[in-house]
């Protein structure tokens, strides 16, 4: 009897280990089989534990769930305190991108959201992973502080992927931007869409925002446009920040290898406070 109980405990522990929930930056897309998309593969991906975000700006992260075939689950998104940030949850739909699958199209969801692996026995019968996007916005009058944000997976037991979001002092200004879609192909590295907005800034051109948010690339373009609006505002205050000018972002225009190189641009901008 004791051996039988130990066997059951071992099976239960093995099942728990087989299910996981993880958070990645917007530049780390994952395919339906739990692997990073080839174009976004990074030797040392950034660990998203305490990400910073500007006021009146967005922080977007991928939530990746991996579990055995036949798993049903609920996905929750929550913050503590609950009334400081606005959080939207999207389901990411996979599309063909070369020899791979990439998450691209988005469907808004309510929390909790029900899910199953595989999504479809006909289209993705060997699927072991599903992707979601958490889109977080901080109102412009939010005081700089830390807010705990969690993605919670319910599969018989609870699994938690936590973040301590750091709301920093810089505020994205309400400046005009051109409303036009300017994005890289879906099989290009996710950071390429952000690089298009960075190159516009370096060329003295205003940022471009998508007319509406329908895809992961829309999210990346919008977030990069917000970064460049912030860069323009900081650059306009040259007496206060003489080191903040067009050339200050030049080194980032031609990044070294690394799928998440653009995060260094954001880190650089958030160093400046009025």
In tens, the pLDDT along 44-98 reads: 788 999 999 999 999 999 999 999 999 999 999 999 999 999 999 999 999 999 8
CA 176 to chain centre: 24
pTM (two decimals): 0.88
> Who contacts 84 (Cβ-Cβ below 8 Å, separation ≥6)?
138, 142, 145, 147, 167
Quick: pLDDT tens for 122-164.
778 889 999 999 999 999 999 999 999 999 999 989 999 999 9
- Give the list of residues 6+ apart from residue 256 with CB closer than 8 angstroms, or none: none
Q: Where are the alpha helices (DSSP H) in the chain?
A: 2-18, 191-202, 216-236, 262-270
Which of 14-23, 65-74, 169-178, 195-204 is predicted most confidently?
A: 65-74
Taking CA atoms, 247 is separated from 233, 242, 263, in Å, by: 15, 11, 18
Mean pLDDT of the chain: 86
Query: What is the set of domains in the chain, with CATH numbers?
Result: 14-169 (2.60.40.10), 171-270 (no CATH)
Q: Which of 135, 254, 267 is nearest to 191 (CA)?
A: 254
């Amino acid at each position: 009897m004791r051996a039988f109980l130990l066997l059951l405990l071992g099976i239960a522990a093995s099942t728990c280990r087989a299910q996981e929930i993880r958070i990645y930056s917007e530049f780390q897309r994952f395919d339906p089989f739990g692997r990073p998309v080839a174009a976004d593969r990074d030797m040392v991906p950034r660990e998203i534990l305490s990400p910073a975000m500007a006021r009146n700006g967005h922080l977007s992260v991928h939530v990746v769930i991996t579990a055995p075939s036949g798993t049903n689950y609920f996905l929750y998104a929550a913050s503590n305190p609950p009334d400081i940030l606005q959080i939207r949850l999207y389901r990411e739909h996979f599309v063909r991108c070369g020899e791979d699958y990439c998450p691209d199209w988005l469907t808004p969801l309510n929390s909790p959201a029900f899910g199953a692996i595989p999504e479809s026995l006909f289209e993705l019968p060997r699927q072991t992973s599903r992707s979601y996007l958490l889109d977080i916005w901080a109102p412009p009058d939010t005081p700089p502080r830390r807010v705990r944000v969690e993605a919670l997976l319910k599969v018989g037991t609870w699994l938690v992927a936590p973040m301590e979001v750091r709301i920093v002092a810089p505020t994205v200004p309400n400046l005009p931007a051109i409303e036009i879609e300017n994005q890289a192909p879906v099989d290009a590295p996710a950071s390429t869409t952000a690089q298009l907005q960075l190159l516009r800034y370096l060329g003295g051109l205003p940022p471009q925002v998508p007319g509406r948010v329908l895809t992961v690339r829309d999210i990346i373009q919008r977030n990069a446009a917000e970064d460049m609006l912030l860069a323009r505002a900081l650059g306009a205050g040259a007496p206060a920040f003489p080191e903040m000018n067009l050339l200050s972002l030049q080194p980032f225009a031609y990044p070294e290898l690394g799928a998440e190189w653009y995060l260094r641009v954001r880190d650089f901008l958030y160093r400046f406070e009025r």
